[in-house]
Amino acid sequence: MIEQTGVEISILNMTPTAAGKVHELLAQENDPSLGLRIFVAGGGCSGLQYGMTLDEEQDGDTVIMQQGFKVLVDEMSVSYINGSEVDYVDSLMGAGFTVNNPNAVSSCGCGHSFKTAEASSEARSCGCGH
């Protein structure tokens, strides 16, 4: 949580469905030092893409407690995901985590790739089938 003018603002929220899936994954690993790392990297059909992995806390990480587990975000990724919501969707098109990001001016139909206002306006095709 970040405190801004006396009001607590969450960097990231997770739906109960997403949190339940993370709990399942962490239970399979049976390692209390692990948390869910969420990061942003270059690539994807919209210019930037989300990544998630189970990892240990690193120097410089922002640690967000979410529904009983740690979410780890590196320094570079914090500004990209600030205010986002992570969900877990299980549909006929497949299952996986998606990110609803208010900082994205456009995103891919798969919920894994996005573009910010600062990114270039070049068009790219979506490689995820959407």
Tell me the pLDDT tens digit for each residue of 57-78.
999 999 999 999 999 999 999 9
Q: Could you tell me the residue range of the domain that residue 85 belongs to?
A: 2-116
Phi, psi of 16 (to 5 degrees): -60, -35
- How far is it, in rounded angstroms, from Cα 126 to Cα 115? 12
* 128 inside domain: no
Please report, for the domain that includes residue 66, its CATH number: 2.60.300.12
Count of structural domains, the chain: 1
* 129 inside domain: no
Residues of the chain with pLDDT under 70: 1-9, 44-46, 105-130
* Residue 86 neighbours by CB under 8 Å, 6+ apart: 12, 13, 14, 15, 18, 38, 97, 98, 99, 100
